[in-house]
Amino acid sequence: MKKNRIHIIGGGNLGAAIAIGLSKFSPDSEITITRRNIQPIQFLEKQNIRVSADNTLEINKADIIILTIKPYQVETVFKEILPLVKNKIIASAVSGLSIDTLEERTCRESSIVRIMPNIAAQFGASATCVSYSENNHEAGQKIFGLFSLLGTALVIEEKLMDGATILGACGTAYALRYIRAAMQAGIEIGFDAQTALAIASQTVKGAAQMSLEEKVHPEQLIDRVTTPQGCTIVGLNEMEHQGFSSSLIKGIKTSFDKINKK
Ligand SMILES: NC(=O)c1ccc[n+]([C@@H]2O[C@H](COP(=O)([O-])OP(=O)(O)OC[C@H]3O[C@@H](n4cnc5c(N)ncnc54)[C@H](OP(=O)(O)O)[C@@H]3O)[C@@H](O)[C@H]2O)c1
Secondary structure, 3-state, the chain: CCCEEEEEECCCHHHHHHHHHHHHHCCCEEEEEECCCCHHHHHHHHHCCEEECCCCCCHHHCCEEEECCCHHHHHHHHHHHHHHCCCCEEEECCCCCCHHHHHHHCCCCCEEEEEECCHHHHHCCEEEEEECCHHHHHHHHHHHHHHHCCEEEEECCHHHHHHHHHHHHHHHHHHHHHHHHHHHHHHHCCCCHHHHHHHHHHHHHHHHHHHHHHCCCHHHHHHCCCCCCCHHHHHHHHHHHCCHHHHHHHHHHHHHHHHHHC
Whole-angstrom distance, CA of residue 254 vs CA of residue 107: 36
Query: What confidence score (pLDDT) does residue 260 get?
Result: 84
CATH number of 238's domain: 1.10.3730.10
Residue-range definition of the domain harbouring residue 191: 164-261
150 with 169, same domain: the answer is no
pLDDT over 70 (residue 1): no
Task: Write out pLDDT tens, residues 8-40.
Answer: 999 999 999 999 999 999 999 999 999 999 999
Distance from the alpha carbon of residue 14 to the mean position of ligand 1, in angstroms: 7
Distance from the alpha carbon of residue 103 to the mean position of ligand 1, in angstroms: 21
255 with 224, same domain: the answer is yes
Binding site membership of 70 for ligand 1 (Cβ less than 6 Å) = yes
Closest-lying ligand 1 atom to the alpha carbon of residue 77: 31
61 with 172, same domain: the answer is no
Binding site membership of 12 for ligand 1 (Cβ less than 6 Å) = yes
Query: What confidence score (pLDDT) does residue 248 get?
Result: 98
**At which of 133, 156, 179 does a domain end?**
156
The number of distinct structural domains making up the chain is 2
CA-nearest residue, atom 15 of ligand 1? 13
The answer to whether residues 205 and 212 touch, using CB atoms and an 8 Å cutoff, is: no
CA-nearest residue, atom 24 of ligand 1? 10
Binding site membership of 27 for ligand 1 (Cβ less than 6 Å) = no
Closest-lying ligand 1 atom to the alpha carbon of residue 118: 5
Query: What confidence score (pLDDT) does residue 122 get?
Result: 98
**At which of 134, 156, 178 does a domain end?**
156
26 with 149, same domain: the answer is yes
pLDDT over 80 (residue 172): yes
Whole-angstrom distance, CA of residue 4 vs CA of residue 63: 7
Distance from the alpha carbon of residue 202 to the mean position of ligand 1, in angstroms: 29
24 with 132, same domain: the answer is yes
Query: What confidence score (pLDDT) does residue 36 get?
Result: 98
pLDDT over 80 (residue 171): yes
**Residue 132 to residues 78, 89, 90, 231, Cα–Cα distance (Å):** 20, 11, 11, 48
Binding site membership of 116 for ligand 1 (Cβ less than 6 Å) = yes
CATH number of 58's domain: 3.40.50.720
122 with 177, same domain: the answer is no
The answer to whether residues 4 and 29 touch, using CB atoms and an 8 Å cutoff, is: yes
CA-nearest residue, atom 25 of ligand 1? 10
Distance from the alpha carbon of residue 3 to the mean position of ligand 1, in angstroms: 25
Query: What confidence score (pLDDT) does residue 240 get?
Result: 98
Written as one letter, the residue type at 148 is S
32 with 145, same domain: the answer is yes
pTM of the shown model: 0.96
150 with 170, same domain: the answer is no
**At which of 156, 180, 213 does a domain end?**
156
The answer to whether residues 1 and 28 touch, using CB atoms and an 8 Å cutoff, is: yes
Whole-angstrom distance, CA of residue 7 vs CA of residue 81: 11
230 with 108, same domain: the answer is no
108 with 175, same domain: the answer is no
Whole-angstrom distance, CA of residue 12 vs CA of residue 69: 8
pLDDT over 90 (residue 189): yes
Task: Write out pLDDT tens, residues 89-130.
Answer: 999 999 999 999 999 999 999 999 999 999 999 999 999 999
For residue 236, the number of C-alpha atoms closer than 13 Å in the C-beta half-sphere is 12
40 with 143, same domain: the answer is yes
Query: What confidence score (pLDDT) does residue 2 get?
Result: 74
113 with 233, same domain: the answer is no
Binding site membership of 115 for ligand 1 (Cβ less than 6 Å) = no
Task: Write out pLDDT tens, residues 33-82.
Answer: 999 999 999 999 999 999 999 999 999 999 999 999 999 999 999 999 99
Close Cβ partners of 114 (under 8 Å, ≥ 6 residues apart): 91, 92, 93, 97, 98, 99, 102, 130, 131, 132, 158, 161
Query: What confidence score (pLDDT) does residue 71 get?
Result: 96
Binding site membership of 94 for ligand 1 (Cβ less than 6 Å) = yes
Binding site membership of 171 for ligand 1 (Cβ less than 6 Å) = no
Binding site membership of 57 for ligand 1 (Cβ less than 6 Å) = no
